[in-house]
Amino acid sequence: MRLLVDRARTFALGGPSGDDDLAAVIDVTATVSPDGQRWSMTIGNPTAVAVPIRRIGWVVPLEVHGPLRIFCNGYQSWSPTGVATLGVDRDPSTSSSFLEVFGGALHADQRQVQGDELRSELFTVLADGSDDIVVAGFSGGDRHDGTFRVRNGAGGPELVIEAFLGGAHLPVGGERVLHDVLVLPGATGEHSALLDRWATDVGRAASARVEAPYQVGWCSWYHYFHKIDEAALDANLALAGDWSFDVFQLDDGYQPAIGDWLRTNDTFDSDLDAIAARISAAGRRPGIWLAPFSMHPNYEMFGRHPEWLATTTDGAGPIPSMIQDIWDGVAYALDVTRPEVLDHLEGIARGLHDAGFSYLKLDFTYAPSFDGIYADMTQTPAERVRAAFAAIRRGAGDDAFLLGCGAPLANVIGLVDGMRIGPDVAPNWEPSPDHVGMNGYEETSPSTRNAWQSALARSFLHRRFWLNDPDCIMLRTEHTDLAPESARAWALAVGASGGMALVSDDLSLLGPAERELLDEVVTLGRMVDDEIRAGAPAPSSPDLMDHRTPTTLVAGRTHIVGTPDAGTAELHHDREQPTP
């Protein structure tokens, strides 16, 4: 399999519809290095009016031998992620029940794909029946998003390399230098080394924050969910004394409304300052959850500043960004292109930091990326997301640990210290029938199997872009449908990845066996993480291109082999040959 570089052609789409051909409207300068490994593009606007640009890039014919497989990396933390085969598998947006607003939360381009097209965000791996593979990735994501699409064109399979600008207006006389695209050829089995090479280079160029210590913590979400109260929080803090937690984090459920992050609701007698002080006095780092880029009508600022909200493309009203009964319905996306909104976000982060919270979990942070009407239409979705995160970083300070969640991965390298890399775990291995996502998007549903799939597939990003957060270990044996062997399989995967080790159980339900499992995971995780920091290759999944749900994770002297259909796994050391 190879790219037919000499037959590549450029394209540019945008205008009012987003699909108008701009080839004769804007200036496009495109170059490919002599070795075919670096693709560059600059665009300019010679016209007398601003030009909205949605998608621009190359269409590259492919020489393929046998079925074409593409690794499809999802846009944000929970987006579907895994290998797919052209002509066999379908992009989830092709479902008849697809809603564009849902697509806006899970894809860079919220529109439904056409025909048999498959897509991957930021990077991809291409393989066929030959011994040749290609790893391709954008050199960054702070200026715009990048998407790789494969499809069957009129002349056969082709790769679309796309800079996604999302309708950003290119001003009169304006110019944009797009992120380079790196194309790395290799042989079957070399995808892990090539992905590590690409991620290392991109992380260094973006000054990725990869120096934070290994993280062990407790979080309130997966036992108490939205029903956390002060009594439960204090009870667990009292029991945490001899556990190895560095961080003690209050999750969703404390706030009066989405957007109202500096006060507690009526299930808490104490204010945030007092809660943080008690956590700190117990020897833990105080952490707190917020979804800062959305606002609910119950929050007083919603009525006071309606101009702070981004508007749907048809001008009908604000953009819905979060929909849950636990939040009293719909919350709406902030227009983060407004300086006063960025000042507001900076003030929230500073207020939480001043209250004593130096660990902020930032959730549902795709909100600024939706198609819509914004005060500054020259910004791309990527620039909007990054500006919002930058405001939080300014307010929280450089010493704060920022954990991204529901975050567009490409846009925040260098701003976050940790990143959720998969869907929510759950007290069940397979998705619960009560929590299955939209048709086609079942892999976004909370389940430990879904978390396993993305954690293995994206394991190589650990300490290249940030500290990976695979999501919480599920230790409890009560109030759960997760079999003990499945809980252990997931715990071993978290440990072998070297990523953050977080617990989210009622500590009163945990006994010596659960403590022993956590100790095993933390010991394993610290060892793997130390090896990576000392220069070992990033964790990787050797069968990434063989199974939609990878089975194997290799990290330094350790690897695990799982049976995802059964929810089991075995741990191996010193690379002895496993038996799947």
Confidence class for position 436, pLDDT limits 50, 70, 90:
low
Q: What is the pLDDT of residue 186?
A: 98
Yes or no: say if 553 and 456 are a contact pair by the CB < 8 Å rule: yes
How distant, in Å, are the alpha carbons of 480, 484, 497, 521 from that of 517? 17, 11, 16, 6
Q: The tokens of 263 are what? A: 């006060």
Mapping DSSP onto H, E and C, the string for 497-523 reads HCCCEEECCCHHHCCHHHHHHHHHHHH
Q: What is the 3-state composition of the chain as percent helix, strand, coil, each rounded to the nearest 5?
A: 30, 30, 45
Mapping DSSP onto H, E and C, the string for 344-409 reads HHHHHHHHHHHHCCCEEEECCCCHHHCCCECCCCCCCHHHHHHHHHHHHHHHHCCCCEEEECCCEH
pLDDT digits (tens, 9 = 90+) for 369-408: 999 999 999 999 999 999 999 999 999 999 999 999 999 9
Yes or no: say if 341 and 301 are a contact pair by the CB < 8 Å rule: no
Short-list 456, 481, 412, 431, CA closest to 545: 456
Q: What is the pLDDT of residue 102?
A: 87
pLDDT digits (tens, 9 = 90+) for 118-160: 999 999 999 999 999 999 999 999 999 999 999 999 999 999 9
Yes or no: say if 276 and 247 are a contact pair by the CB < 8 Å rule: no
pLDDT digits (tens, 9 = 90+) for 313-359: 999 999 999 998 889 999 999 999 999 999 999 999 999 999 999 99
**pLDDT above 90 as % of the chain:** 95
Q: How far apart are CA 438 and CA 159, in angstroms?
A: 28
Confidence class for position 578, pLDDT limits 50, 70, 90:
very low
Short-list 263, 289, 276, CA closest to 237: 276
Confidence class for position 557, pLDDT limits 50, 70, 90:
confident
pLDDT over 80 at 264, yes or no: yes
- Element at 60 (helix H, strand E): strand 51-63
Q: How far apart are CA 511 and CA 529, in angstroms?
A: 27
pLDDT digits (tens, 9 = 90+) for 498-541: 999 999 999 999 999 999 999 999 999 999 999 999 999 999 99
**pLDDT above 70 as % of the chain:** 98
Q: How many CB atoms lie within 10 A of CB 416?
A: 28
pLDDT digits (tens, 9 = 90+) for 440-499: 899 999 999 999 999 999 999 999 999 999 999 999 999 999 999 999 999 999 999 999
Q: The tokens of 203 are what? A: 């992380």
Confidence class for position 579, pLDDT limits 50, 70, 90:
very low
Helix orientation angle between 484-497 and 448-457, rounded to the nearest 10 degrees: 20
Length of the chain: 580
Residue 505, C-beta contacts closer than 8 angstroms, at least 6 positions apart: 222, 223, 474, 475, 476, 514
